[in-house]
Amino acid sequence: MAPSVTTCAYQRSTTQKPRGVIKLAPASSMKPKIKPSTLDRYFWYTSSDGVMRLATSTDGTVPEQINTYDFNPALFVREPYPSTFPPGGIWPPEEPCDLLCPLGADDGYCVGDQCYTNKTCKNALCEHSFTNWCQQTENWEDHFELRKTEDLGIGAYTKRAWKAGDVLGWYAGELKVKSYDGSSDYLMQLDIGVLDTSSRAQQGGTANGTPPSPTRQAPSAPHSEPEPDLVYIDAAAKGNWTRFINHSCDPYASYRMRRVGNMRIMTVEAVRDVPADVELTVSYGYDYYGIGTVKVCRCGAENCISRLRGRGSGLKKGKGKGKGRVRVKKCKRLVAPVEEG
Ligand SMILES: C[S@@+](CC[C@H](N)C(=O)[O-])C[C@H]1O[C@@H](n2cnc3c(N)ncnc32)[C@H](O)[C@@H]1O
């Protein structure tokens, strides 16, 4: 029987929790000429010269710092009822949880509303709250900092060590419709509705943790599987610190589809122990830097996919796949939890 759509307990937050005072570098010339009240909204990082600077997106725009989903219901009014939603769902969605209500078997694990641990909750009816989660993850600067990397723009660095399995953060941003055809370096794909684990496993073993097949993203590919219903989380203009995590082919972390109470989220979780004071990296998935793509990965890892191509390993370069397409990061999916007792 198809699961029913639960009612939403998500509270819309009207105000951002005030953040700590931002300490600017002593050089008065470095002081930005913007009102102090707007300081908190933007990202700052400390450059190697010790000066705090405003972080920019790779296209030069200054991103606003939000730690929630930015949701515009008007965007969804003309969108068709998602095929992955059971009959009777709320459509068009009026708030984020109407869209991101966890409905599938993969959603068994809630990460609770306390971040920075590896504790999960399997109670499908738990009351962990997304509002609490957002508040709790606002203190990211206690654990991570942004720094200018040598050649990958800005990166996120650890201030303390982490254990494999720890939840390090989550991907916040503006929710965009499936038909969104913009392009940005900060797009994350998030499936909606009931997740079809069986077909995903056939397509590349997402259920066992390997990245999804690149062919899933090619609409014109013959015999390609139908695209799942999804939304994009776009962190280009608004997002949280995780938008600055760079890719590595030998990453410290992975994106995971999870839930907090009745809200589906994309977490960043350590896949191995992470020391303090290193650049935190994640895998963007094969659609981003994989075999069929044109982008060149410069992560420098021994097993870097672009390096292997260069060595004539038999991996072919992409023939333009990815150009003009929505390029997104993808998450790994969890195996459905086994019921105890
Ligand atoms: C989500 S952003 C990461 C943060 C970015 N460094 C910044 O300054 O905003 C993704 C972009 O960072 C750069 N990047 C991240 N990892 C990279 C890698 N392994 N090789 C080359 N470029 C990378 C690419 O420009 C990519 O499109």
Given ligand 1 and candidates 45, 58, 59, 268, which is best to mutate, with the most ligand atoms within 8 Å of its CB? 58
**CB distance 148 to ligand 1 below 6 Å:** no
How crowded is residue 130: how many other Cβ atoms within 10 Å of its Cβ?
A: 25
Instruction: State what percent of residues in the chain have pLDDT above 70.
Output: 69
Indicate if the pLDDT at residue 104 is higher than 80: no
Greater confidence (282 vs 330) lies with: 282
Do residues 212 and 202 lie in contact, with contact meaning Cβ atoms separated by under 8 Å?
no
Indicate if the pLDDT at residue 64 is higher than 70: yes
Residue nearest to ligand 1 atom 9, measured at CA: 57
Greater confidence (215 vs 68) lies with: 68
Summarize pLDDT for 282-327 with one digit per residue, the tens: 999 877 887 777 789 999 999 998 877 766 555 544 444 444 445 5
Do residues 185 and 76 lie in contact, with contact meaning Cβ atoms separated by under 8 Å?
no
Ligand 1 centroid to residue 139 C-alpha, Å: 23
Indicate if the pLDDT at residue 150 is higher than 70: yes
CA 181/CA 220 separation, integer angstroms: 15
Atom of ligand 1 nearest to the CA of 243: 1
Q: What sign for the dihedral angle of Cα 170, 173, 179, 182? A: negative
CATH code linked to domain 64-288 = 2.170.270.10
**CB distance 196 to ligand 1 below 6 Å:** no
**CB distance 152 to ligand 1 below 6 Å:** yes
Summarize pLDDT for 248-265 with one digit per residue, the tens: 999 999 999 999 999 999
Confidence of residue 103 (pLDDT cuts 50, 70, 90): confident
Mean pLDDT of 188-206: 63
Ligand 1 centroid to residue 56 C-alpha, Å: 12
Q: What sign for the dihedral angle of Cα 56, 58, 64, 65? A: negative
Average pLDDT of the chain, as a whole number: 77
Greater confidence (293 vs 268) lies with: 268
**CB distance 58 to ligand 1 below 6 Å:** yes
Ligand 1 centroid to residue 163 C-alpha, Å: 24
Summarize pLDDT for 120-139 with one digit per residue, the tens: 898 988 999 999 999 999 99
Residue nearest to ligand 1 atom 15, measured at CA: 246
Confidence of residue 41 (pLDDT cuts 50, 70, 90): confident
**So what's the pLDDT on residue 214?**
29
Half-sphere exposure of 221 (CA within 13 A, CB side): 15
List all residues 6 or more positions away from 205 whose beta carbon is below 8 Å from its beta carbon. none
**So what's the pLDDT on residue 110?**
94
Nearest partner of 101 among 223, 259, 219, judged by Cα: 259
Poorest-pLDDT segment among 48-57, 59-68, 125-134: 48-57
ipTM over 0.90: yes
And the tokens for 224? 């390609």
**So what's the pLDDT on residue 58?**
85
**CB distance 298 to ligand 1 below 6 Å:** yes
Tell whether pTM > 0.90: no
- Using DSSP, state whether 216 is helix, strand or coil: helix
Write the burial class of residue 201 (CB in 10 Å: 0-12 exposed, 13-18 middle, 19+ buried).
middle
**So what's the pLDDT on residue 181?**
85
Greater confidence (98 vs 181) lies with: 98
Ligand 1 centroid to residue 211 C-alpha, Å: 19
How crowded is residue 300: how many other Cβ atoms within 10 Å of its Cβ?
A: 14
Do residues 102 and 128 lie in contact, with contact meaning Cβ atoms separated by under 8 Å?
no
Nearest partner of 96 among 262, 334, 333, 255, judged by Cα: 262
**So what's the pLDDT on residue 310?**
65
Indicate if the pLDDT at residue 200 is higher than 90: no
Ligand 1 centroid to residue 196 C-alpha, Å: 31
> Looking at this protein, which amino acid is placed at residue 106?
D
Given ligand 1 and candidates 57, 64, 185, 250, which is best to mutate, with the most ligand atoms within 8 Å of its CB? 185
Tell me which residue has tokens 């003009």.
324
298-302, long-range: CB within 8 Å, 24+ apart, which pairs?
298/151, 298/152, 299/246, 299/247, 299/248, 299/249, 299/250, 301/248, 301/249, 301/250, 302/250
Residue 274 is classified by DSSP as B
Greater confidence (233 vs 28) lies with: 233
Ligand 1 centroid to residue 47 C-alpha, Å: 17
List strand residue ranges (DSSP E) for 261-303, in order. Answer: 263-270, 281-282
Atom of ligand 1 nearest to the CA of 248: 19
Residue 180 is classified by DSSP as -
List all residues 6 or more positions away from 100 whose beta carbon is below 8 Å from its beta carbon. 69, 175, 190, 192, 231, 263, 264, 265
φ, ψ for residue 137 (rounded to 5)?
-95, 5
Ligand 1 centroid to residue 172 C-alpha, Å: 17
How crowded is residue 230: how many other Cβ atoms within 10 Å of its Cβ?
A: 17
Summarize pLDDT for 168-180 with one digit per residue, the tens: 999 999 999 998 9
Tell me which residue has tokens 């077909």.
199
Poorest-pLDDT segment among 69-83, 198-212, 266-280: 198-212
Ligand 1 centroid to residue 169 C-alpha, Å: 18
**So what's the pLDDT on residue 197?**
57
- Using DSSP, state whether 253 is helix, strand or coil: strand
**So what's the pLDDT on residue 99?**
96
- Using DSSP, state whether 197 is helix, strand or coil: helix
Mean pLDDT of 58-68: 92
